[in-house]
Amino acid sequence: MYKRLISSLIPSLITTALLIPFAAQADWTLDGQASSLGFVSIKNGAVVESHQFKRLSGIISAEGEARLIIDLDSVETLIPIRNERMRSLLFKTTEYSEAFVSIDLDMNEFVTLDIDSNMAKTLTVDVMISGQTAAVTAPVNITRSGDSIMVSSIKPLVISAGSWGLMPGIEALRAIAGLTSITPAVPVSFSLKFDLQAD
């Protein structure tokens, strides 16, 4: 009986031993087409509008060094002149065309997740915009699906534009659009899909 039990367990143990080290030692690359990052602006204290960045890239190394790159020139507000104003007045993309999000992760927490299972976790990430870096705490839901990991915000993150020196840009946007106010607290939501890269 024990021999039969051991014999039945050996294939499963071998498979697990092979798959987990492979996943832990490989890079994970962001699927930009299946990922999204959006933010909300509030003008005149009551008008709420949703925007997004259309081009994202990123990687999680085998060692757990994770980096997300946001192409600020890809900001999409559905109004072309507003897109241009955000690029030139707020983000100043001629000087800083990209924003960066970085964190060091314990990859064993992710690659050992069962397929189609998930876990909630709070991550503290460093965000660099316009050459300035600030830490942001993000409650996320992490889902494992085959050879991919999905990291999604559990609720919108409310970040302060002043943490990255963006207040002058917001004031410039307010003035040129003839608005009473633009709220500097910005809700941000994201859904990021990372795929395991085979050798």
Summarize pLDDT for 20-41 with one digit per residue, the tens. 443 455 899 999 999 999 999 9
Residue 43 to residue 41: CA distance in whole angstroms: 7
pLDDT per position as a tens digit, 49-71: 999 999 999 999 989 999 999 99
3-state SS assignment for residue 156: coil
Could you tell me where the DSSP H helices lie in the chain? 2-24, 80-85, 108-111, 167-177
Which CATH number goes with the domain that contains 69? Answer: 2.40.128.110
Q: What's the confidence (pLDDT) of residue 139?
A: 96
Q: What's the confidence (pLDDT) of residue 25?
A: 59
Taken as a whole, the chain contains a residue count of 199
Which residues fall within 8 angstroms of residue 194, CB to CB, at 6 or more apart? Answer: 28, 29, 30, 31, 58, 60, 148, 149, 150, 151
Q: Which residues pair with 95 in a beta bridge?
A: none
Q: What is the mean pLDDT of the chain?
A: 88
Q: What's the confidence (pLDDT) of residue 53?
A: 98
Regarding predicted confidence, which is higher, 179 or 114?
179
If one counts the domains in the chain, the total is 1
Which residues fall within 8 angstroms of residue 52, CB to CB, at 6 or more apart? Answer: 36, 37, 38, 39, 75, 76
pLDDT per position as a tens digit, 118-172: 999 999 999 999 999 999 999 999 999 888 999 999 999 999 999 999 999 999 9
113 pLDDT above the threshold of 90: no
Tokens 């106010």 appear where? 181
Q: Report CA Rg, the chain.
A: 21
Domain encompassing residue 103: 2-196
Q: What's the confidence (pLDDT) of residue 17?
A: 37
Q: Using an 8 Å Cβ cutoff, are 67 and 28 in contact?
A: no
Q: Using an 8 Å Cβ cutoff, are 64 and 106 in contact?
A: yes
DSSP label at 88?
I
Q: What's the confidence (pLDDT) of residue 199?
A: 61
Percentage of the chain beyond pLDDT 70 is 86
Instruction: Quickly state the pLDDT bin for 95 (edges 50, 70, 90).
Output: very high
Residue 62 to residue 25: CA distance in whole angstroms: 5
